[in-house]
Amino acid sequence: MSFIYAQIDENNICCAVSNLSGEIFDTHLIPIQTFDTTMIGKKFSDGHWLEVPKSEMGETIAPEPTQLDRIEAAINMKNNEISERAIDTYTKQLLENGLL
């Protein structure tokens, strides 16, 4: 048997939906019938789920970059650095040979 919960934050807004193997009693976990991720962002008030206007939700927090994102950014930065060095070296050679 599984137990499905909507996790609410300090403002009673759903921030996650979980499917657990055991029953949990926590004021931040609201039992729900189905694993419904459309609950995320809704407010739990007096036993009902309400749509929340964007102004009440506050700032949107950008997700942290994954390790892959950080690796790709480092590779791109390194590639740009290599390209810039190659261009600088080529330009210097053209200047030294009087072609520029």
pLDDT tens-digit readout, 28-67: 999 999 999 998 999 999 999 999 876 655 555 566 778 8
Question: How far apart (Å, rounded) are the C-alpha atoms in residues 39 and 63?
Answer: 19
Phi and psi at 36, nearest 5°, equal -120, 100
Answer with the residue of higher pLDDT: 100 or 51. 51
Query: What region does 22 belong to: left with phi over 0, alpha with psi -120 to 50, or beta?
Result: beta
In a domain, 11, yes or no: yes
Residues 38 and 73 in one domain: no
What pLDDT is attached to residue 75? 86
State the average pLDDT over residues 77-99: 87
Total structural domains in the chain?
A: 2
Residues 49 and 68 in one domain: no
Residue 11: give the domain boundaries. Answer: 3-53
The token pair at 6 is 């909507």
Q: What is the mean pLDDT of the chain?
A: 86
The token pair at 76 is 């791109």
Residues 70 and 89 in one domain: yes
Residues 72 and 31 in one domain: no
In a domain, 58, yes or no: no
What pLDDT is attached to residue 46? 93
State the average pLDDT over residues 69-90: 84
